[in-house]
Chain A
Amino acid sequence: MDLRNTDEGTHKSLEQPLNSSLSLVRRKLVLRDTLTFLTLSLVVVALYAVTSFLFRSFEAHREALAVRWASRGEVLLKNGKPDQAVSALRTSLSFAPDDRPRQMLLAAALAESNRIDEASNYFLNLWESQPGDGFINLQLARLARRKANTSQAIDYYRAAIFGSWPGDAITRRRDARLELSDFLIQTGDLASARAELLVAARNAPETLDMDIGFGDRLLQAHDPSDALFYYQKGIARDPRNLTALGKAAQLTYDTGQYALASSLAFRAARLEPATVAEESTRTALKTIAANSERLLDLSLERDLSPRKRTEHLLTASSIARKRIESCIAANTGNQTTVPPELISLKNSWTEASSKLTRRTLEEDEVTQNRLTQLIDDTEIQTAPVCGPPTGDDALLLLLANRRHTAAQ
Chain B
Amino acid sequence: MESPPKMTIAGKDPQESGGVVQPAMREERLFLLLSIFIGIISGLLVVSFRMAIEWLSVLLLGSAPAPHQVRLLIAPTVAGIVIALLTRFVFPQVRGSGVNQTKAALYIHNGYISIKTMIGKFLLSALAIGSGHSLGPEDPSLQIGAGVASKIGRSVGLSRERLRMLAPVGAAAGLAAAFNAPISAILFVIEEVIGQWTAGVLGSIVLSAVSAVVVARWFWGAQPMFRIPSVTLRDPRELLAYAVLGVVGGVASLFFAKALGYLRPKLRGQPQWFQMMQPALAGSLVGGIGYFGLPYVMGAGYGAIDQAMHGQFAFKMLLLLAVFKIIATTLSFSSGTPGGMFAPTLFTGAMLGAAVGSFENHIFPHLTGSVGSYALVGMGVLFAAFLRAPLTSVFMVLEVSGNYSIILPVILANTIAYLISRSLQPVPIFEVFTHQDGLYLPSMEEEREDSHLRFEDALLPVSAPILQGSETIWNSMKIVGQHKEIADAPAVLVQCKDGAWYAAKQQELQTIFAGIGNDSSHAEAGLTLEERLGPERTPLMFPDQMLSSALPYFRRWPLIPVSNRAMRGALEGVLSLEDVLNRYQRQ
Binding site for B on A (CB under 8 A): 19, 22-23, 25-26, 29, 33, 36-37, 40-41, 43-44, 47-48, 50-51, 54-55, 58, 61-62, 65, 69, 87-88, 90-91, 94-95, 97-98, 110, 115, 117-118, 120-122, 124-125, 127-129
Contact = CB atoms under 8 A, between A and B. Distances in A.
Name which of A26, A124, A127 has the most chain B CB atoms within 10 A of its CB.
A124
A182 B41 CA distance: 60
Contacts of B55: 58, 61
Contact of A51 (B48, B54, B309): B48
Contact of B219 (A51, A69, A95): A51
24 contacts: A22-B18, A29-B21, A37-B33, A40-B34, A44-B37, A44-B40, A47-B45, A51-B44, A51-B47, A51-B48, A55-B47, A55-B219, A58-B54, A61-B55, A65-B58, A65-B63, A87-B64, A94-B303, A98-B223, A121-B370, A122-B312, A125-B228, A127-B229, A128-B230
Contacts of A95: 63
Interface of B: 18-21, 26, 30, 33-34, 37, 40-41, 44-45, 47-48, 51, 54-55, 58, 63-64, 66, 152, 155-156, 219, 221, 223, 227-230, 303, 306-307, 309-312, 370-372
A36 B156 contact: yes
Contact of A117 (B156, B307, B311): B311
A40 B152 contact: yes
Contacts of A124: 229, 370
Contact of A121 (B26, B41, B310): B310
Contacts of A69: 63-64
Contacts of A91: 63-64
B370 A54 contact: no
Interface of B is mostly: helix
Contacts of B156: 36
Nearest to B48: A51
A19 B18 contact: yes
Contacts, number: 93
A43 B36 CA distance: 13
Contact of B155 (A19, A36, A44, A54): A36
A69 B303 CA distance: 16
Nearest to B46: A51
Nearest to B370: A121
Given A19-B18, A26-B21, A121-B310, 17 more contacts: A25-B20, A36-B155, A37-B33, A40-B37, A44-B37, A44-B40, A47-B44, A47-B45, A51-B219, A55-B219, A58-B54, A65-B58, A87-B66, A94-B303, A121-B229, A121-B371, A122-B310
A22 B16 CA distance: 12
A36 to B, nearest CB: 5
B44 A48 contact: yes
Given A58-B51, A58-B55, A98-B221, A125 B227 contact: yes
Nearest to A126: B227
B290 to A, nearest CB: 15
A117 B45 CA distance: 40
Nearest to A47: B44
Contact of A118 (B45, B58, B311): B311
B398 to A, nearest CB: 15
Nearest to B47: A51
Contacts of B230: 128
Contacts of B19: 26
